[in-house]
Structure 1
């Protein structure tokens, strides 16, 4: 957890993770056995990166001291383990629903998610919709590109955002196809898939 922070700043973040009610500069200095001025310099840097923030004053026998706590961004710097839970949940859903119903469920989710984005697409011409879809997929982490020179326009994605899960649950690809088809209002045919060991995922954009 050293990306963008020094090891000393990482230590401060860990201290605040274990003290959700916050710590003062003096308390941090004491815990790390460094000067208050040194702590203050690190705190200023962490504040500017929106990793910590000022919180309530702490009243002690002496003067009131300001507490510092982690921000949501600071909390999210620490590792989160979502994959095992998603795996467990998807396995249970597939077992309960059956393979075909599970695939249809993923397609419904993709179409439903597309509706939340539809306002960005409604006033666009078909070609502009494809460009907007690529931009949307980029924002979602797919590393997508538009291929216009082929006889059939297509979109190629070089990153599967749930690659490990898709290898175990290929029905997740129904989500992508439904998302793209709904936003473009055109059928989508997937001809390559990274979950099937292809180098990328390729989606042909068919005519209605």
Structure 2
């Protein structure tokens, strides 16, 4: 029995999660104890958001009806425990490898990602690279910009995309530092960190005029 909590649309997503073949409007209406028209309205909104999709016709001997199923985006909309698992994984890696080796591994991961993105930065001067990096960080959710209050070029990110994890595993910042350093081809110094209770993460670009 599916425990139905949350909004009607969340309840529909939970019901569809429990079946691979999908459910019809009548079945959803019966489970939710609301009208077919109300279910249709909710499904229209969910389809618009690409969370559900029409599936195969459901023939039960009477009038065929269309089933609805979750899209991959709809499945991802439901709660996941990625941070919890990542915390366990990082803790195990730190115990197994040691702090220094974990930092080296995270640095390599940042470098490897940067190298895969290198074509987007090839042939650009430092200012153009900074702009491309900010665009990349924006797409990843960092809410990054150049810090106008600093005399030396400094990138300020006001959203740490793994804030809770970084509070428990500050080694994660090695990934950011490696990514930024490699993409800009300049050494950087992290002067502030949200995981250490600062208001933003700040990365000063060293030797910017060189």
What's 1:129 paired with?
A: 129
What's 1:68 paired with?
A: 68
Cα distance in structure 2, aligned partners of 1:74 and 1:94 = 34
TM-score (norm 2): 0.89
Q: Which runs of 5+ in 1 are unaligned?
A: 1-5
Cα distance in structure 2, aligned partners of 1:149 and 1:198 = 16
What's 1:8 paired with?
A: 8
Distance 1:68 1:98, change over 3 A: same
What's 2:152 paired with?
A: 152
**Is residue 19 of structure 2 the alignment partner of residue 40 of structure 1?**
no
What's 1:189 paired with?
A: 189
**1:69 deviation in Å?**
0.4
Q: 1:138-195 CA deviation, whole Å, 9 max, x = no partner?
A: 1111111113574421111112111122122221111101000110011111111122
Q: Which runs of 5+ in 2 are unaligned?
A: 1-5
**1:83 deviation in Å?**
1.5
TM-score (norm 1): 0.90
What's 1:57 paired with?
A: 57
What's 1:202 paired with?
A: 202
Cα distance in structure 2, aligned partners of 1:45 and 1:88 = 37
Distance 1:132 1:34, change over 3 A: same
Aligned length: 203
